[in-house]
Structure 1
């Protein structure tokens, strides 16, 4: 069994309102992207592919991969215009003999070994799984005028995180199909926002929900950095 982690770090991070790209912001004296790569480096995952912004390949190789001794990183590649383009390019850079692919947002620094193992156990049985946590808050579904349309049962609502893990051959084939049919999906108004949607749209495979962690937050706005620093300090203690 061979596994690969595709770590996505190709976003612009415009909502951070910073001159420094989100993935390179300082968190506890290390760049943000360091933490997710380190988690996979110290896990059962065999290879790591890092997908970066245009023009950042050499910087990431030197200042992150080489500097911190990440031996499992087998490729650093440029991403595409949208997230799903970057995922496809990352998957294509992986070794052809991979069995399972972890797709992880590099802006989630608190992925850990336990989450990785739970996801791996699930994907062996179900071929597709996503990490997430049950919603703490009541969720309202809005109509197109901004009014509450309905309220789903909170006990059945999960907030999805990453990694999202799949049979490698299946997810690569589906992303190649998505690339060919991108124009058709756009014409239909279908917006692919996570990897599970690709499986849900093209196949009958059911996606298993796997417990992640409430610490497994995504860094999106300046406020999130303060929360992340607090989590990091707590974990160090």
Structure 2
């Protein structure tokens, strides 16, 4: 089984409120993007990685990959206007021989090899899978500042990445989305939209996405506990 990962690291990172672009911010001295790529390299199932970055950041990304000895990144793609466009650009660089494609956020550095491998195994079995965690808060549906409905917490999961798919299924979902003008914030939603079921694999609350300055503080705390 040939598994290829697409790592999406082309966002603007505007909520981080720093002059340094988010993928290159350091967590305990190591760039965020490097930590994420190292996490994927620990999975023996992933054969290669396609890295999607902003075109103007390509040279910096390649420099870091050389500096830190990242071996599995062998192809690059330019980021698009939105995340969905970036993934689609990455798909164009995935070898036709790939059986499964894993999509992962470049800003999730704490995913484990076990989590990655369990998502891959689930996708190999049923075609599409995502990692996620049961929500801990009470979730309310709100309109114009007023609660419309309190949703049953026992049925709700916060969906993360990695997400894994049979290659042809993911390609088909993106092609259909382009034709229909469908937009989504993650690939699992696109696959759901085509009518294909997506399995949820329970993961860890540590698999946070670094989005705000507060997330960076939490990431530093995680690393310090590991030292």
Q: TM-score range by the shorter chain?
A: over 0.9
Deviation at 1:179, TM superposition (A): 2.4
Matches within 5 A, 1:75-224: 75-143=75-143, 145-182=144-181, 185=182, 191-202=183-194, 204-224=195-215
Please give the alpha-carbon distance, in whole angstroms, between the structure 2 residues aligned to 1:18 and 1:115: 30
The answer as to 2:25 corresponding to 1:33 is no
| Structure 1 unaligned residues grouped into runs of 5+ | 186-190
Conservation of the 8 A alpha-carbon contact between 1:92 and 1:172: no
Conservation of the 8 A alpha-carbon contact between 1:123 and 1:165: yes
Runs of 4+ displaced beyond 3 Å: none
Please give the alpha-carbon distance, in whole angstroms, between the structure 1 residues aligned to 2:57 and 2:216: 22
Say how many residue pairs are matched.
Answer: 226
Aligned to 2:129, what secondary structure does the other structure show?
Answer: strand
List per-residue Cα deviations over 1:186-232 (Å, max 9, x = no partner).
xxxxx411111111112x21110111110000111111100010011
Aligned to 1:56, what secondary structure does the other structure show?
Answer: helix
Please give the alpha-carbon distance, in whole angstroms, between the structure 1 residues aligned to 2:171 and 2:38: 24
Please give the alpha-carbon distance, in whole angstroms, between the structure 2 residues aligned to 1:180 and 1:9: 25
Aligned to 1:129, what secondary structure does the other structure show?
Answer: strand
Aligned to 2:55, what secondary structure does the other structure show?
Answer: coil
Deviation at 1:176, TM superposition (A): 2.4
After superposition, the CA RMSD in angstroms is: 1.1
TM-score, normalization by structure 1: 0.92
| Structure 2 unaligned residues grouped into runs of 5+ | none
